[in-house]
Amino acid sequence: MKNILLTIEYDGTSFFGWQRQPEKRTVQGELERVLSVVCRCPVQVNGTSRTDAGVHALGQRASFKGDFGIPTDRLVVAANNILAGGMNSIGKIGDLRIVSAEEVPEGFHARFDAKGKKYVYKILNCQETQIFSRNQYYQVRKSLNIEAMKQAALYIKGTHDFKCFQAAGGEEKKTTVRTIYDLQITEEKNELGKRTIFIEIKGDGFLYNMVRIITGTLVEVGSGKLPAEAVQDIVESGQRQKAGHTAPPQGLYLSKVYYKLEDLAGL
């Protein structure tokens, strides 16, 4: 019996999220379908994060067990070939790809052994409508004050009860206390003056829609709707209605999953 840990990347635009659903195309469902063919046995995949519809991944992790003979490296090649279109895949790129696979100890579980995650949220901050970026960025037309956003981010870093950044409808958690180890906000401008803002957030766990609500709150600070210091009061209040809007899914990327605490905390 092998226990395999996968690293996966995907464009979430055409998926109804990670978790398998009847009659709907999901990342978990596609992986299980393809891996079951490659391994010639039923495969059930356990993912680290249940990303929502439209959310992307650069480094999603998932594990599965099976009694199959195909070598691990060939498993990746065969699965990616099917995911890209099979015999007609020459020159094609699919929206889901296994980046790597490795054998791990029998008791390892991709979700329960994870120590934390890093997400990246991408904002396109310009006036002109960008139709070719609509599925990869959140476009905000009003110019954002990035220094105010950085100031607000200081109130989010650390260990807090983040109930104010939790949307209704998610899985009920035993506690809403989380630790945000790092929250960086940077920007880039291209030769045409288009401005992209990146919010990179690393923590030991995230509540339902937490990163998207944090992003929406920071956008409201950057646009002048909220003062930076109001974020401290928002966190302390624990009230969702005081925080900003929920930013749309297409700008969100699951960037990395950590399995060692020292890597997560930067020790």
75 and 147 in one domain?
no
| Shared-domain flag, residues 256 and 125 | yes
pLDDT score recorded for residue 90? 65
CA–CA dist 177, 205 (Å, integer):
9
In this structure, the answer to whether residues 133 and 178 fall within a common structural domain is: yes
Question: Tens of pLDDT along 158-170?
Answer: 999 999 999 988 7
| Residues 130 and 153 occupy one common structural domain | yes
Domain end position, chosen among 103, 132, 159: 103
Among 77, 103, 129, the domain-final residue is 103
- Looking at residue 267, its pLDDT comes to 66
Same domain, 120 and 78: no
* Interval 232-252: pLDDT, tens: 999 999 999 999 999 999 999
If the chain, 267 residues long, is cut into consecutive pieces of 10 residues, what is the mean pLDDT of each piece? 97 97 96 96 95 97 94 94 78 90 96 97 93 95 97 98 92 91 94 87 97 98 97 97 97 97 86
Q: In 175-226, where does DSSP find H-type helix? A: 210-222
- Residue 119 annotated as part of some ligand binding site: yes
At which of 103, 138, 158 does a domain end? 103
Structural domain includes residue 110: no
User: Tokens for 249?
Assistant: 């899914």
Catalytic residue positions? 52
Domain of 24, in residue numbers = 2-103
Rounded to whole angstroms, how far apart are CA atoms 138 and 123?
5
In a domain, residue 111? The reply is no
The count of structural domains within the chain is 2
Whether 123 and 27 map to the same domain: the answer is no
Alpha helix segments (H runs only) across 154-238 = 210-222, 230-237
